[in-house]
Chains A and B, each alone.
Chain A
């Protein structure tokens, strides 16, 4: 009798497993074919000298990686990526938080502003890139026009054309694009904070600043960590906007790992080398994600 019960339970379990598989299956299949398999394939290709257009590959072992460690352009693009990570994490999230808090406050017409603030994120990246190329245009652009209207001609630059300003100009655009995303994410986090806590604080005579630092911010920390993770990984993999706006130029000033990988793969026909770059990007993004998540774990153990 007891054996029967166990068998039935096992069968139920199996049935449940099959049932779940039925629903997860299709998505998992697509995920495996288009995400998991390519990751392993990239590692595999990175061990070869391969043009990507012919059937024969020559096995090199780790030579692609050895060359990568000697590649100045790669390190410059890595540096730009790191710059982008810091710029993104330390401007996008604070600005997103500021906007989210602003939207929380009870100002008239907030619904309208919420839509307006979110608009940049709804635009396609290529459209944003072309829009900002016109804004930065040294002769016809709005930015230089504004500076000249303010009598600040000395500050006028050919923003995307000079090595010293190109990266900054591009980063500003990227921030403009992504701040709304973090605004929405953090706003969702803010709505999750129980009203009673805030009310209790108010009754206890907490100043708004103290309420923010002692209640809102700590309770928002999980959302901020998620945002930071997304922002870091996104910045390490960033490609499209830079590719449209500057193609990594002038003189590699805005080259990122992803744009460099694209060049190696599709301009120079070095698919193996490009795969090595791609693998490095994966490893770096992986390490960054693990680091942030384990810091988060330490923090939550720390008792916040």
Chain B
């Protein structure tokens, strides 16, 4: 018995030592590979000629967009017979966990998806992302989209598609009650009252994941406080997150809740399983503020609804500084290259293919989205409308949670959900945001 115990303990300690040593080796490796982006040319030639150069791509686009990305990669491999591309599509929420783990484990994909902004910046700051300034043609992308992948004047990726936040509404229902898309915020309030009087929930929302509600705060803050309200606070040049405009936006949200503007129990409903769209499909609610991905989802989920559906922009608030044409939006995907890639030249080529005009054109034609690539023809009626919104816009406000550092982004979404749930006052929400900003962004 005692011999066995001894053996077991020896074995365990050997195992522990082995695994510790393995970990140490990994860390040492990462240190040396950090230098690889600078010596980009030597890497690709070092490989023996017989072997294929292997690149991995991680992306999250689904449905039609997934097919188009796959086709693009097939074409790329035909054009580059010496390169083998392994592309993996990963579900959105899984991806947010999987990429940090892969980066931390020094086993990142060569090309990876992001939304630009604060999330990408975490990886840039960690030295995990290759600087592609000058390697790709910045002039072929919309500047507003490119901004989200630019840090300290250096470019860390290229954008493909964009998403805009708009109201999606039931046209037939609006006609039935003699309603017009609102020009002003007061119009919107009147629409809400009319619909409520007719027993229809005015606005559907599934706010379990918190970002759908955040869209309201971002728009209201923009309409009340003007285009610069967020950037002034974020860049710490005179603005603050407890600015009266943010407080006013919080108050307006709570007034909407008091007015019964939203469907019951919205804070517990799940967007991904369609719990908000259900209200529109079944004629129980009239409209929903969502990103342009809504269209893709409706087309695959309930194609019959598309003919009834219309879109309008967020109305202007009387006396507010923001313009009715300003848009809230974001970029997805932004493709970036890992600084640890063994084949930087090929990776840049693939990056260009994944954000090319050709692919963008097919995204527009076949998936009905707006893209971040210039000189693309729009034919899909919804895409044309969205493109017009984009063209009229003098200012595109990126989603706060994609711009702020992750911890503040979460606080922003938490406090906004609490505002909707009326478990926090607008003043308190603003104070918490400003306090976090002071500790994380400086005074």
Q: How far apart sit A133 and B209, CA to CA, in the bound complex (Å)?
A: 14
Q: Is the CB of B208 within 8 A of A249?
A: yes
Instruction: Tell whether B177 is near chain A: CB-to-CB under 8 Å.
Output: no
How far does the Cβ of B50 sit from chain A's closest Cβ, in whole Å?
33
Q: Which residues of A contact B16 (CB under 8 A)?
A: 32, 36-37, 40
On whether A266 and B97 interact (CB within 8 A), knowing A53-B128, A130-B273, A251-B417, the answer reads: yes
Query: Which candidate, A223-231, A267-275, A279-287, is the interface stretch facing chain B?
Result: A267-275
Which of B19, B264, B268, B421 neighbours the largest number of chain A CB atoms within 10 Å of its CB? B268
Contact at B27–A32, with CB atoms within 8 Å? no
Contact A160 to B3, CB < 8 A, known contacts A21-B11, A52-B100, A140-B278: no
> Given A21-B11, A166-B268, A269-B100, A53 and B126 touching (CB < 8 A)?
yes
A122 contacts chain B at the CB level, 8 A cutoff = no
* B4 surroundings in chain A (CB, below 8 A): 17, 20
Contact of B270 with A158 in the complex, beta carbons under 8 Å: no
Pairwise interchain contact A158-B208, C-beta atoms closer than 8 A: no
- The 8 Å CB contact of A251, one of B3, B19, B424, is B424
Tell me which residues from 413 to 427 in chain B have a Cβ below 8 Å from any Cβ of chain A: 414, 417-418, 421, 423-424
CB-based contact B270/A133 at 8 Å: yes
A137 at the interface (CB under 8 A from B): yes
Is B260 in the interface zone, CB < 8 Å from A?
no
CA distance A20 to B11 in the complex (A): 13
Give min CB distance, B257 to chain A, whole Å.
Answer: 12
Q: How large is the interface on B (under 10, 10 to 19, 20 to 34, 35 or more residues)?
A: 35 or more
Within 8 A of B (CB), among A19-40: 20-21, 24-25, 28-29, 32-33, 36-37, 40
- Please, which residue of chain A has its CB at the minimum distance from the CB of B15? A32
Main secondary structure of the interface of B (DSSP, over half): helix
The answer for the CA separation of A15 and B30 in the assembled complex, in Å, is: 43
Whether A54 and B275, one on each chain, are in contact in the complex, defined by CB atoms closer than 8 angstroms, is no
A41-B23, A53-B128 given; A158·B268 CB < 8 A: yes
Q: Of B123, B265, B423, which is within 8 A of A137 by CB?
A: B265
Report how far A252 CA is from B417 CA in the complex, Å: 10
Taking a contact as CB atoms under 8 Å apart, the answer to whether A54 and B97 are in contact is no
Pairwise interchain contact B208-A160, C-beta atoms closer than 8 A? yes
A189 / chain B contacts, CB cutoff of 8 Å:
none
Q: Which of A20, A139, A250 contacts B284 (CB 8 A)?
A: A139
Is the C-beta of A240 less than 8 angstroms from some C-beta in chain B?
no
Chain A hits for B27, CB < 8 A = 55
Residues of chain B within 8 A of A249, CB atoms compared: 208, 210, 267, 414, 417
Q: Which of B19, B265, B407, B414 contacts A159 (CB 8 A)?
A: B265
B261 at the interface (CB under 8 A from A): no
B residues bordering A, Cβ < 8 Å? 3-4, 7-8, 11-12, 15-16, 19-20, 23, 27, 30-31, 34, 96-97, 100-101, 103-104, 106, 122-123, 125-128, 201, 208-210, 263-270, 273, 275, 278-279, 284, 406-407, 410, 414, 417-418, 421, 423-424
Interface residues of A (CB under 8 A from B): 13-14, 17, 20-21, 24-25, 28-29, 32-33, 36-37, 40-41, 51-55, 130, 133-134, 136-140, 157-163, 166, 246-247, 249-252, 262-263, 266-271
7 tightest A-B CB contacts, nearest first:
A158-B265, A160-B268, A161-B268, A138-B265, A54-B126, A161-B265, A161-B267
